[in-house]
Structures are given as structure tokens and as C-alpha cells.
Structure 1
Amino acid sequence: MAAQAPAIEVPTDAELLQAQADLWRHTLYYLTSMGLRCAVKLGIPTAMHKLGGVTSLPDLADALSIPASKQPFLGRLMRALVTSGVFAAGGKDESGAELFRLNPLSRVLVDDVVADEHHSQTSFVLAGTSPHYMEAALGMADWFKKDVAGPVPSVFEDVHSASLFDESTAALDPELDALVTEGLEAHDNLGIGTIMRECHDLFKGLESLTDCCGGDGKTARAITKAHPHVKCTVLDLPKVIEKTPSDCVVNYVAGDLFHTVPKAQAVMLKLVLHHWSDDDCVKILTQCKNAIPSREEGGKVIVIDIVVEPSLGPVMFEAQTLMDLLMLVFTRGRQRSENDWRDLFMKAGFTDYKIIKKLGARGVIEVYK
């Protein structure tokens, strides 16, 4: 005889109505992402910036060359994006039209602005909402059911037979590869100024530093500008370094951080390790340990990465857990708690570490051999 299913607990009327609203939100969250993608593709943040950061719907539609027949629909899109926090609204113009405004989130989506600390995140949005990304995310359930021997591939690898940040991505779709590279660079460089201001002593007394996976050297140049006494070297893959124009400020080295890291007093890993499995992180950290002197000689590894922590509050914690799902679907890595980081450092042979600052979802960690 088949086992009888347990009785289900029936929600109260109020709970049921709230559950229905929550179900709508969670099922349809992707429409917020698609609305954000639409705003970026239309150039709404940039148009608003050129209009002084505040605009009415008719003026915005005119700036975007939106046909009059579509203006009411544009209003509905803007209402949804204001509700989700992408834009702000408030006040009316002389004609009584509602005014929409840029806020901190939409300001980082403004293109065509030259400023030391402005790194537009439009590529991050377009990569994260691209068809290839969506298709990979749709493959999660099938991925979970597959048993595999050896290292577990990402969902993206399983669906597309390609790895992000690898030559296989370019073979899959050159446009996607370029977008992912641009998005990663913009994401990683956002907040450099904050790190310089909030962690000024992090680089105090250093004579040399190697920035692993430092890309085109934006972070290294920011460090050198704030601390001219620090000689910075950027280590990255040959395909990255060969596209980077040489300068007299930063030394560029083509290589693989799994095999060699240029020796320096400090080695920095900024938003690098969350892309890799625990085993790979230990290998990377071991190479970094071999590249630095002892703690007594000022040697250290600087890790700037997400430190998952519920105490940061529900919004920040949700952002961290979403970033962890991003790693699950698109890489073999993960986001880590302080205990997870401690385990990695000890396995790689380090003797001590300290989190010197928490900046939003990220932590700045000094690790000593």
C-alpha cells in the first residue's frame, strides 16, 4: 500500500494572499531584469544624465526618439524600474508632468562619461541578461540531476560546452566574449576610489605589489597614483596583456597565476578567487605565498572579495546569495563566509589573516605566511 501523503498546513486568508503576491514577485523577477536590460539598450540612464539627471517622460521620450504611440508604454516601464529602485521619481515640471531622476544605481549605468572613478556597468547588465546566460540558468534543474566523475562543471559549461573567460567562449559567441570581458573589468574596477579612501593604510609602507588578474591596470594605476612609492606589476593572461598599451607607470607581465606569480612585497587578488573551486584557490594562494616575503618583512596577500554574512542585512545578504548563484551557474567557484576563507588560507599554508575592512558586500583581507 502506498504511503499516505501527510496533511498539508492550510495558510490563513492573509497568509494566502501574501503568498500569492510573493509568488508573483519571485516568478516574475526576471521581468525586472529584462526591464533593466531594456533601459540600458535604449540608453535611458545616459539620456537622463544629458538632460541634467532629471526629466519628464515627454522630454525623455523625445531624447530617446521614442514614437508618441509608445510613450504610455515607456511610462509603465519607468514606473516598474522606479519601484524596483533603478530610478527615482518625485515632483512635477511646469506642465504637471511627473519627473524621473537618476539615483546612485542608475548613475553607474551612464555611458560616455570620462571620470577617474566612473566605471559604467552597462556591459555587466548586458552580459548578465544575455540569451546565453538565460539559457544556462534555465539548465539548472537538469544539471542537478546529472552525476559526474571528477571536477563538477558549471551549469554554463554543461549547457554550452564552453567556459566563461576562456577561448571557448569566443568560439561560442565572439560578441558575448567581448561583453563578458568588458563587464568583468567594469565590475571589478567599481569602487577602487572607495578602497583607496577607506583602506589607505593597506598600501602604506609597501615597496612593490603584484595585482593578479589586474586586466588593463586601472586598479594598479589607482594605487600608484595614491601611493607613488609602490611599484606595481599586473599579471594577467597573454590575451589580456597583449591588448594593453604599455606605460611607464605599471609593469605588465603575461602569465598564469596557477604557475607563477611575480615576486613582490604584496600580492593582490581582487574579486578573483570567487571564480575558482576550493582546490584551485589553494593552488593560487600557494603561488601567491611563494611570491611574498615573511610577515616580519612586510609580506602579505591582499584578498578583496565577497564575505558572505547575514548580519549585513537582508538586502546586502540577498545580493551576496545571488552572486553565489551566479558563480554556481557560470563558474566552478563560489562566494565564501569568513570560515570558508579561513579554511582556504590555512590549507594554502598561511599562518594568520585579518579582515581589515568591510566595504558593503566585500571584505578586504590581509593574509600572512
Structure 2
Amino acid sequence: MGEIQREPILENEEEDTQAELDVWKYVFGFGEMAVVKCAIELGIADAIESHGDSMTLSELSSALACSPSQLYRILRFLMHRNIFKQTPNNQGPIMLAPWHALSTRALANGMPSFEKAHGEDLWSYGATNLAHTQLFNEAMACNARLMIPAIFEGCGEVFDGLGSLVDVGGGNGTAMGLLVKACPWIKGINFDLPHVVSGAPNCDGVEHVGGDMFQSVPKADAAFIMNVLHDWGDEECIQVLKKCREAIPKQKGKIIIIDPVVEEDNKTGDYKLNDFRLMLDMVMMAHTNTGKERTMKEWEYIIKEAGFNQITVKPIRAVQSVIIAFP
């Protein structure tokens, strides 16, 4: 009898994986034909050919009278199958151009720098340029992966006793996903604009909700706002904070703000960190219409104007601090 050899487990696993992929292919084999038919009916190829060159998603959606977010999903499917090709879009100039128009923001009646450079504000631009929105959200997600551990290290107790938490302006849900993973007893709500959360990945324990934070905020035991309020002026911040106050319990509710607190006196605190906070203030000037980094006095003003009375500030190992406020 010849020698019997056992096949490597890896080969069997590869065969099983391939068999599973084949099954999925048979189940959804009609899908590719249906999406190609959809692309033909919409006239995607004809629009690009008539344009004579590659088109941005904004240009193509306007030409076809399509929803940018829905069109992007169709194109993503077709690009994955090499039916269409995405030309790399260097995002650098998009964020760099406003810096060249920084002086316009400083003028008495000057136009915001981003609007001067691109014809519309950052948020309107992102709503119709989903590739830029995706890059922006990925950058925020990267920041969240650094910030959340620092928050838990410095003051993780702020999440004790919470049954639910809403992340206001939470982007693709990375921060809330990390929070729920660390605190599995919390029901997480990731809240952002509809076109933002429509592309957010599913995450156990996190519900994605689309809406406008200036109109209403989903109800929860507490509101979490990270790197959002510095994008807006005082009046906008007060409006958002009031909506947060309406969303949390009157007696035990609280908001947890993660944002820089600029030191008024460079002789106190960490000079290097304050240097970065001041640089971020220039970023706000270049990229937002009314945003700014705030001193503690400025934070106290908008928080108290929104109806919060008790304020606690906890420094962490980051440029940002944790500001906790209670009604």
C-alpha cells in the first residue's frame, strides 16, 4: 500500500472559499447584467463620451439628473468590474487652495477662503463631491482611532452609567464603533448628514441615523460631539448645543465635547500643544466659514448660552480636551 498523505488544511480552506464564492456568483449572477442595463438606461457612458474627457461625480450627476450618492454606488460596482475606471483625484489642491485665499477671510467684508477658492462652502462641496467626502471622513476616522483611546485613558469614567449615546456629526461611525466596543452596555447612535451615513459600514451596537443637527438630534442619555463645534461660529454652536440639550434627559443628561481649548497664556499648559491648537485655528479660518478654536472663556459662553450650567474640563494626552456639561 502506498503512503497516504494528508492534504494541507490551507488547500481545503481555499477550495471551500472558492466554492462559497461560486455559490454567491450563481445566486447573484443576474445582478451584473441588471446594473449594466441600468448604466445604459441612465446614459452614463454616453454622457462621459459627450463630455470628451473624464468627469467628476458632481458633473456626471448633474448631467444625468441623478442623486450623487446613488450614482456613486452604481459606479463603484461597475468600476470594481473594470467596466468604468476611476481617475485618481488628487485631493491635495482642494484643501490647499483655500490657504492661498486666506487674506480674503481677514477683510472686513471678505469672502470665506474655501468659498473663494471653490465657489461654495466646505459642506456644500462635500455633498456633491463624494470622493472628497470619503477622504474627509477617512481622515476623521483616523483621528478617532487615536482620540478614543486617549479619552478612555484620561477620563473613561464619563461613559459609566450611560445606556445610550449619540455621536453628533459622527461621520462614518468609527468613533462610535470604538466607544461601543469599549463599553458594550451602551446603545450607540451615529448621527450625521444623510449622504454621510449612507456610506457608513454596519457596526454591531451602532445605529446610523441621517439628519441635520441644526434641526434635531436623536434622543439618548448623553451626546458626544468630537471635532465638530470648532467648525462653526458661536450662534451655530449654541443652536446645535440647544438641540443636544433637548435630546438628553433633563436631570441626568450630559454632553461630552472633544475639542481643543486654546490657552490664553502660553506660560501655562503645554506650549507645544497650544502651538498646534493655534495652527488648527488657522485651519478653521482657511476651511470653514465661521469656525474657530476657542479659549475656555469662549467655550463657557456658548455652553451656558445653550442652557448648560455645570461645566468640567479634563485635559487628556492630545491637542483636544474633554469638556463635560450638564443642564
> Which interval holds the TM-score relative to the shorter structure?
0.5 to 0.7
1:305 aligns with 2:259: yes
Alignment-derived partner of residue 279 in structure 2: 322
Which residue identity is paired with 1:227? C
> 1:129-159 deviations in whole A, cap 9, x for unaligned?
x2233322111224433526xxxx5211122
Alignment-derived partner of residue 243 in structure 1: 199
For CA contacts below 8 A with separation 6 or more, give which structure has more relative contact order. Answer: 2
Number of aligned pairs? 234
Which residue identity is paired with 1:212? V
> Cα offset for 1:211?
0.8
Alignment-derived partner of residue 223 in structure 1: 179
1:132 aligns with 2:90: no
Q: Secondary structure at the residue paired with 1:186?
A: helix
Alignment-derived partner of residue 253 in structure 1: 209
Alignment-derived partner of residue 345 in structure 1: 303
Alignment-derived partner of residue 291 in structure 1: 247
Alignment-derived partner of residue 357 in structure 1: 315
> Cα offset for 1:220?
1.5
Residue of 126, 139, 143 corresponding to 1:187: 143
Alignment-derived partner of residue 157 in structure 2: 201
Which residue identity is paired with 1:203? F
Evaluate the alpha carbon distance shift between residue 275 and residue 163 of structure 1 in structure 2; reply closer, same or farther with a 3 A threshold.
same
> 1:326-364 deviations in whole A, cap 9, x for unaligned?
001101200011111000011111112111333332110
Alignment-derived partner of residue 102 in structure 1: none
The 5 Å alignment of 1:45-60 reads none
Contact conserved, 1:263 with 1:292, CA < 8 A, in 2?
yes
Unaligned runs of 5+ in 1: 1-125
> 1:31-59 deviations in whole A, cap 9, x for unaligned?
xxxxxxxxxxxxxxxxxxxxxxxxxxxxx
User: Cα RMSD (Å) of the superposition?
Assistant: 2.1
Evaluate the alpha carbon distance shift between residue 264 and residue 143 of structure 1 in structure 2; reply closer, same or farther with a 3 A threshold.
closer
Which residue identity is paired with 2:217? V
Distance 2:203 2:286 in 1: 37
Q: Secondary structure at the residue paired with 1:298?
A: coil
Alignment-derived partner of residue 145 in structure 1: 107
Alignment-derived partner of residue 274 in structure 1: 230
> 1:157-177 deviations in whole A, cap 9, x for unaligned?
1222122233x2465x66544
Q: Secondary structure at the residue paired with 2:312?
A: strand
Distance 1:215 1:156 in 2: 20
Evaluate the alpha carbon distance shift between residue 312 and residue 248 of structure 1 in structure 2; reply closer, same or farther with a 3 A threshold.
same
Which residue identity is paired with 2:319? A
Alignment-derived partner of residue 18 in structure 1: none
> Cα offset for 1:180?
2.8
> Cα offset for 1:227?
1.6
> 1:185-243 deviations in whole A, cap 9, x for unaligned?
32344221121232221101111111111122222122222222111111111111111
Alignment-derived partner of residue 188 in structure 2: 232
Distance 1:169 1:360 in 2: 27
Unaligned runs of 5+ in 2: 1-89
Distance 1:142 1:266 in 2: 39
Q: Secondary structure at the residue paired with 2:315?
A: strand
Distance 1:137 1:245 in 2: 33
Distance 2:121 2:145 in 1: 22
Q: Secondary structure at the residue paired with 1:190?
A: helix
Evaluate the alpha carbon distance shift between residue 333 and residue 228 of structure 1 in structure 2; reply closer, same or farther with a 3 A threshold.
same
Contact conserved, 2:226 with 2:258, CA < 8 A, in 1?
yes
Contact conserved, 1:220 with 1:233, CA < 8 A, in 2?
yes
Which residue identity is paired with 1:243? G
Alignment-derived partner of residue 84 in structure 1: none
Evaluate the alpha carbon distance shift between residue 227 and residue 170 of structure 1 in structure 2; reply closer, same or farther with a 3 A threshold.
closer
